[in-house]
Structure 1
Amino acid sequence: MNYEQALEYMYSQLPMYQRVGGTAFKKDLTNTLALCEAMGNPQKKFKSIHIGGTNGKGSSSSFTAAILQRAGYKVGLYTSPHLQSFTERIRVNGQNLPEKEVVQFVEQYQELIEEVKPSFFEMTVAMAFEHFAKEQVDYAVIEVGLGGRLDSTNVIEPEACLITNIGMDHMDMLGDTPQAIAAEKAGIIKSKTPVVISQTQKEVSTVFMDKAKEVNAPITFGDRKYTVRDGVEGTIDVYKDGMLWGTEVNVGLKGKYQYYNLPGVLKLIDVLNPLLPKKIKKDDIIGGLENVVKLTAVKGRWQQLGTSPQIFCDVGHNEEGIKEIIKQIGSLSFQKLHMVLGVVKEKDLSKILTLLPEDATYYFCTPKVPRGLSATELQKAADQAGLKGIVIEDVKEAVATAKQEASVEDLIFIGGSTFVVAELDL
């Protein structure tokens, strides 16, 4: 079996949320626990940090990993979905899982897999745990896949947890109110384990506080300790307890929505520091934030792909994420806006399309996953929302057309779905 065959086995044998959606979502942890038990419980062989939320959990995971790396720790990082290579999901100090280890895992555990019948995600989580244990990482930063309480990652016993925010996404599986979704996300809060909430959101704060009280977990809110403001020339100024903590700090991920994520990450480091054998210094934090892309290889977060015209992409794909992208676009200077847009089938288009600017030119495309909504259907819905554009099914062809049509003073944005960004050359 080679790498391509191993991947094909994983994709064809096992349901995968990335490809098929909600039918791959398992409503309990039985399979993950069975896999880990049969593998000798690798998740108990390293220390971990668990990070969940609706938006920002991937960025927050990358920031946390980068800061720990900068402080000299060997750090595993588990994130999902991947953009271009499956091996991006499992990294150690920014290095992707070697392809040969994917093959070895499938070959070694094929009988177990066929007995347990785990989902794609459940098997990938077990693969990550095995790799981190084998690599003897000091800490593994584990991003929740979907929800929290019943997510496959929720078999770890972390040193601390971080929950970024709550938004109305995946309502078909997590609930149709902010409180219901928050309750699922709060499921990662563990007994006597400190938890940090990045943003104080009035409608859900009590959900987290009640859960923390129930399991006797110390809880703090990042934005009550830290605030982030614009600095000079694209930098940020950070305030701690209202006092200037860091000035002209360079952050490797440039989207202003990171201002919501950073207070949680900074507070998480405060919480972790007393538990660490080697303390994280202020220089480690600033260096980690600045070099997050280099240290973790994170992609697709307000990533600039070109100048003259300016070209940006972003994986933001729900109502809250799109709002922040529109704000970010509004902060830039350009003549005309071109938007290459694709989405997946289960998105509430009525909420997303009404947020988008009517004076942009749209290039509607179809992400190459079974869940991808056809560009023609997207165009029909967009037309009803007053958005005008053309259908170009292929993502790269749509980008190429936008480049041909744009002048050097224009702005091209590419997004709407993680799977649109996944088809770009990042």
Structure 2
Amino acid sequence: MTNINTTSLSTLADWLAHLETAHPTVIELGLQRVGSVRDRLGIQFECPVIIVGGTNGKGSTCAMLESILMQGGYKVGLYTSPHLIHFNERARINGVSVADAEFVSAFEQVEEAKQDTSLSYFEFTMLACVKIFADAKLDVVILEVGLGGRLDAVNIFDADVAIITSVDIDHVEYLGDTREAIGFEKAGIFRAGRTAICSDPAAPLSLIEHANKIGADLWLFNRDFNYSGDKQQWNFAGRQHRRHSLAYPSLRGANQLLNASAALAALEALRTRLPLGAQEVRSGLVMVDLPGRFQVLPGVPAVVLDVAHNPHAAATLHQNLDNMGFHAYTYAVFGAMQDKDIAGVISQLKNQIDHWCLTDLPLPRGATAEHIQSLLTEQNVVNDKDHSIQCFENPASAYTYAVSKAGENDRIVVFGSFLTVAGVIQQRNEQQ
């Protein structure tokens, strides 16, 4: 924790560097501190608020909501975290990242309003983002949960529609080590008398019971909404509304129709406040863009970018890789945070990867490449003429090595932490 005269902070980079050390812990769950600063800032929304939580699929669902609503002509604010390349990605208005100067102004306002309250990096920056939204006279606000739900900072706002995309094991030190415990934490974003959507096909009983206990209007996948389709198009069926002959979302992957269905269920619940036509929905799905979610880059060898960093996401990545067709060898560029279930991720993908290019990450929380190598060895991943394990200091050097070795019939899968994918994207951008 540092004491600094914040009047000396004039750029976004200055502020972010300060905020990284301004609070004694990286993560501190709870709503009292951040709620008190929200009140002093006078932040409130007259427009609909959609809050999206879940173990995986949050970012995709938020991106689809944003894209469809923008096609409908609405002024949309989207808050997401973490960012991939630039901090500004965390707050977008009508698809455009907020400018540095706006962030600096918002940070100054949060700093003044917090008085003696200590806020974490996540809490401080989230408040700045929503302060910008509150001043922008938006038609709809979409907020992505950072961690869990019940005690996450975005839960200081009451969702008109709350979405839980999936429930699986992650962040066990904060949320518990069972789906039931985690489901209860995530259901904390539900509100009495308001729409609560869960698109996990096996919703935990704890989530259902909490929704019923508080009197939320719970929509469950396969009970209140579902989808069907063939290779060309798909259909959505909600409680009262159906949408036929929809284009597949431009986001690739096995779970994207689940995510799209959750988004369309939310929009059905809000249809009297945010009406949308069929063409606006179709166009929004086709035009949605979200880097790093089973993103297949053009060219050879095939390069896949995916921020899969827990076993549930790794299982989906496994399925998506299976659907890609034949590749002679698969090279993996993989780096992860040490608090993740790295062994669980490896177990999902070890039979699909021939050559592992392991990388350190530029944060104290990052697992070392050597540690990941030891976990691979424990799972009997070997070095032989068709398999290898190499360690690198950073994602860029790991990726450069993979490119030098991969043939045009091979593929390179860059996955794990956001920092792993971001490091490769930045390296590719510098080479272009």
TM-score exceeds 0.5: yes
* Paired position in structure 2 for 1:355: 348
Residues 15-34 of structure 1: pairs in structure 2 closer than 5 A: 23-34=25-36
Tell me, what secondary structure is at the counterpart of 2:212?
helix
What code does the residue aligned with 2:22 have?
Q
* Paired position in structure 1 for 2:335: 342
In structure 2, C-alpha distance between the alignment counterparts of 1:219 and 1:289, rounded to whole Å: 25
* Paired position in structure 1 for 2:429: none
* Paired position in structure 2 for 1:110: 111
Matched, 1:331 2:332: no
In structure 1, C-alpha distance between the alignment counterparts of 2:346 and 2:214, rounded to whole Å: 41
Please tell me whether the aligned partners of residues 43 and 129 of structure 1 are also in contact (alpha carbons under 8 angstroms).
Answer: no
Shift of 1:58: 1.1
In structure 2, C-alpha distance between the alignment counterparts of 1:290 and 1:369, rounded to whole Å: 36
Please tell me whether the aligned partners of residues 163 and 185 of structure 1 are also in contact (alpha carbons under 8 angstroms).
Answer: yes
In structure 1, C-alpha distance between the alignment counterparts of 2:367 and 2:115, rounded to whole Å: 32
* Paired position in structure 2 for 1:240: 237
* Paired position in structure 1 for 2:195: 194
Shift of 1:2: 1.9
* Paired position in structure 1 for 2:51: 50
Please tell me whether the aligned partners of residues 243 and 278 of structure 2 are also in contact (alpha carbons under 8 angstroms).
Answer: no
Please tell me whether the aligned partners of residues 47 and 141 of structure 2 are also in contact (alpha carbons under 8 angstroms).
Answer: yes
1:348-376: CA deviations, max 9, x gaps?
A: 23322112234511100112222110111
In structure 1, C-alpha distance between the alignment counterparts of 2:94 and 2:75, rounded to whole Å: 6
In structure 2, C-alpha distance between the alignment counterparts of 1:383 and 1:260, rounded to whole Å: 35
Shift of 1:241: 7.1
* Paired position in structure 2 for 1:283: 279
Aligned residues: 407
Please tell me whether the aligned partners of residues 364 and 378 of structure 1 are also in contact (alpha carbons under 8 angstroms).
Answer: yes
What code does the residue aligned with 1:71 have?
G
Shift of 1:338: 0.7
* Paired position in structure 2 for 1:395: 395
Please tell me whether the aligned partners of residues 31 and 122 of structure 1 are also in contact (alpha carbons under 8 angstroms).
Answer: no
1:19-77: CA deviations, max 9, x gaps?
A: xxxx433232011111111111x133543111111110111111111111111100000
Matched, 1:138 2:139: yes
In structure 1, C-alpha distance between the alignment counterparts of 2:186 and 2:348, rounded to whole Å: 26
Distance 1:306 1:376, change over 3 A: farther
In structure 2, C-alpha distance between the alignment counterparts of 1:47 and 1:357, rounded to whole Å: 44
Residues 256-267 of structure 1: pairs in structure 2 closer than 5 A: 256-267=254-265
In structure 1, C-alpha distance between the alignment counterparts of 2:136 and 2:341, rounded to whole Å: 42
In structure 2, C-alpha distance between the alignment counterparts of 1:218 and 1:107, rounded to whole Å: 39
Shift of 1:230: 4.7
Distance 1:155 1:109, change over 3 A: closer
What code does the residue aligned with 2:291 have?
K
Structure 1: tracts of 5 or more residues without a match:
16-22
Matched, 1:10 2:2: no
What code does the residue aligned with 1:214 have?
K
Please tell me whether the aligned partners of residues 234 and 247 of structure 2 are also in contact (alpha carbons under 8 angstroms).
Answer: yes
Shift of 1:344: 0.6
Please tell me whether the aligned partners of residues 198 and 265 of structure 1 are also in contact (alpha carbons under 8 angstroms).
Answer: no
Tell me, what secondary structure is at the counterpart of 2:413?
strand
Please tell me whether the aligned partners of residues 326 and 356 of structure 1 are also in contact (alpha carbons under 8 angstroms).
Answer: yes
Shift of 1:239: 4.6
Q: TM-score, normalised by structure 2?
A: 0.89
Matched, 1:381 2:380: no
* Paired position in structure 2 for 1:249: 247
Tell me, what secondary structure is at the counterpart of 1:287?
helix
Residues 407-418 of structure 1: pairs in structure 2 closer than 5 A: 407-418=407-418
* Paired position in structure 2 for 1:19: none
Q: TM-score, normalised by structure 1?
A: 0.91
Distance 1:92 1:248, change over 3 A: closer
**Bigger relative contact order, structure 1 or 2, given CA contacts below 8 A and separation 6+?**
1
Matched, 1:62 2:70: no
What code does the residue aligned with 2:20 have?
Y
Residues 33-44 of structure 1: pairs in structure 2 closer than 5 A: 33-40=35-42, 42-44=43-45
Identity of aligned pairs, percent?
A: 29
Shift of 1:167: 0.4
What code does the residue aligned with 1:284 have?
E
1:93-131: CA deviations, max 9, x gaps?
A: 111111012222233443444611111111111111111
Please tell me whether the aligned partners of residues 76 and 137 of structure 1 are also in contact (alpha carbons under 8 angstroms).
Answer: yes
* Paired position in structure 1 for 2:430: none
* Paired position in structure 2 for 1:307: 299
* Paired position in structure 2 for 1:404: 404
Please tell me whether the aligned partners of residues 192 and 215 of structure 2 are also in contact (alpha carbons under 8 angstroms).
Answer: yes
Structure 2: tracts of 5 or more residues without a match:
1-9, 382-387, 427-432
Shift of 1:223: 3.6
In structure 2, C-alpha distance between the alignment counterparts of 1:111 and 1:128, rounded to whole Å: 15
In structure 1, C-alpha distance between the alignment counterparts of 2:112 and 2:197, rounded to whole Å: 40
Please tell me whether the aligned partners of residues 159 and 190 of structure 2 are also in contact (alpha carbons under 8 angstroms).
Answer: no
In structure 2, C-alpha distance between the alignment counterparts of 1:349 and 1:130, rounded to whole Å: 37
